[in-house]
Amino acid sequence: MKDSKKKKNQEAETNLHGESSNNNEVLMLSKVMIVGAGTGGLCLAQGLQQSGIDVSVFERDRTPTDRLQGYRLHISSNGARALEDCLPGTLFQEFLGSAAKSNQAVNFLDSNLKRLLTFAIVDDSHAESREIPVSRMTLRKVLLRGLENVVNFEKRFQRYEQRPDGSVVAHFEDDSTAQGGLLIGADGASSTVRGQLLPQAKRIETEIVAISGKVPLNDYVRRITPTEFFAGPTLVLGPDGRFLFGSAVEFPSNDRQTPVDGQSDPPSSDDLMFGERVEYVMWGFSCRRDLFHDLARLGHAPGDELLTVTLRLMTGWHATLRALIKATAPETTNVFEVKSAERIAPWNTGRVTLLGDALHNMTPYRGMGANMALLDADSLRRALLRVHRGESELIPALHDYEAEMNDRGFRAVEASLKQMKQVHRQGRFANAMRGFSLKTIDRFPVHLKRAIMQRQ
């Protein structure tokens, strides 16, 4: 075991020195190094491999299932096109086949389950508004297919250095190194690559804290779950700036394996966290930080305690919603402080760049993070493909990519932050005005509802 690990470490120490500094373009295309095997990093690796560009990925996890990865993503039509551009055809079809039931509507309710606004989602494979629901774990497994010799697990990135010949050397905590012509930080919101490349880049505290969980779908849960949760994303606007998001994850009936007696066992804890075709209700509750007691300790509290805290903060809410929280599997709960990146001025382009949350990490209130990472991956793939074909030099191509990524990503950051502030408005007057506004919009035709809400 030790010998194989040592061999893998040595293989990662790729020596790619060119004959001279004039060989820098060839050097870059000899090896692209990606730090982070998340959605964006793996999508890019697939695209580069498809384009014949040598690539290696370095991931801190020991295995693909080390961390809880099971929450659902909503892949937009643009995100799906990026995946289609980067993946082999068979893998893209596998992605489409792994999708849960499509959302039919977006719903806004108050904490007593009274309707505020509902608008239908267009169920059309060519529609711009179409979304493909898929679990993070399922998507990650699809993206890892065919990259067995590309992704190096248990590689915790530490720092990089740039050599006079133009190459970049990545250093890892196990004392191994890897060398190539381009280093891409796709290592998430707490990016170590970003910390070295752009120490001036900051993440702001939004003063909002969220708790999330999963409820296994059984007969009881199906009875108590609001019907709106089964139609699609449901936003429950509570008093005093308290907010609940809920949505059911179901698969087409012909994909279910139902026993002869018609009864099915509830999913196990492992299935809920890591299973690929598991049905459940996901929820996320959030409110102001100052409503939590001893938040530092709560970050290490067991799931049962997180559920107790959530129920305390939902005092006075509809009994059905409270019952749903009580039915949550404690081991699936998670608490986190909601943070958001600050827009950063352009920087001098070099042989180290960033992708996705490593630069423009955002709040979860518009569900845009994964889609932005996929768009970044496809944009960077196209830029490097132009270099590979001799149509562009490296630095200008990277500069154009960074300008596009920075603008697109931070527009999404700002839209997400705006949505977060709207759903956490405080005060009776603000709540009354918000409810009145949503009820008014609810009277409009569907296409007008959608257009208005997309501009919010």
Q: Mean pLDDT check: name the lowest of 42-51, 111-120, 185-194, 309-318.
A: 111-120
Counting residues of the chain whose pLDDT is more than 90, the rounded percentage is: 69
CA 228, CA 246: separation in Å to the nearest integer? 9
pLDDT mean over 326-351: 96
What pLDDT is recorded for position 8? 43
| Pairing mode of beta strands 280-288, 203-216 | antiparallel
**pLDDT of 63:** 81
Q: What is the pLDDT of residue 293?
A: 84
357 in Cβ contact with 188 (< 8 Å): yes
> pLDDT tens, 167-179?
999 999 999 999 9
Mean pLDDT score, 142-161? 97
User: Tens digits of per-residue pLDDT, 272-328?
Assistant: 555 667 899 999 999 999 999 888 888 889 999 999 999 999 999 999 999 999 999
Report yes or no: 380 and 355 within 8 Å, Cβ to Cβ. Answer: yes
Q: What pLDDT is stored for residue 426 in this prediction?
A: 80
Contact 290, 337 (CB under 8 A): no
Rounded Cα distance between 332 and 282, Å, is 10
Length of the chain: 456
The SS3 of residue 327 is coil
Q: Give 74 or 29, the one with higher predicted confidence.
A: 74
Is the pLDDT at 438 greater than 50, yes or no? Answer: yes
Listed residue (411, 416, 402, 415) closest to 185, CA to CA? 402
The C-alpha atoms of residue 342 and residue 7 are separated, in whole angstroms, by 41
- How sure is the predictor about 130, in pLDDT bands with cuts at 50, 70 and 90? low
E strand map for 77-128: 105-110, 115-120
Q: Which residues contact 435 (CB under 8 A, 6 or more apart)?
A: 110, 116, 237
pLDDT at 437 over 50: yes
Cβ atoms of 288 and 207 within 8 Å: the answer is yes
- Whole-number average pLDDT of the chain: 86
Question: Residue 218's pLDDT band (boundaries 50, 70, 90)?
Answer: very high
pLDDT at 62: 86
Tell me how far apart the alpha carbons of residues 221 and 244 are, in angstroms, rounded to a whole number. Answer: 17
**Residue 171: beta bridge partners?**
159, 177
What percentage of the chain reaches a pLDDT higher than 70?
80
* pLDDT reading at 135 higher than 60: yes
Whole-angstrom distance, CA of residue 28 vs CA of residue 7:
24
Question: Lowest-pLDDT range, 122-131, 195-204, 218-227, 302-311?
Answer: 122-131
pLDDT in tens, 348-376: 999 999 999 999 999 999 989 999 999 99
Full-model pTM: 0.87
Query: Is 142 in contact with 126 (CB distance < 8 Å)?
Result: no
Q: What token pair was written down for 429?
A: 């007057």
Q: Regarding predicted confidence, which is higher, 304 or 138?
A: 304
- Where helices occur in 128-208 by DSSP H, the ranges are 136-144, 192-197
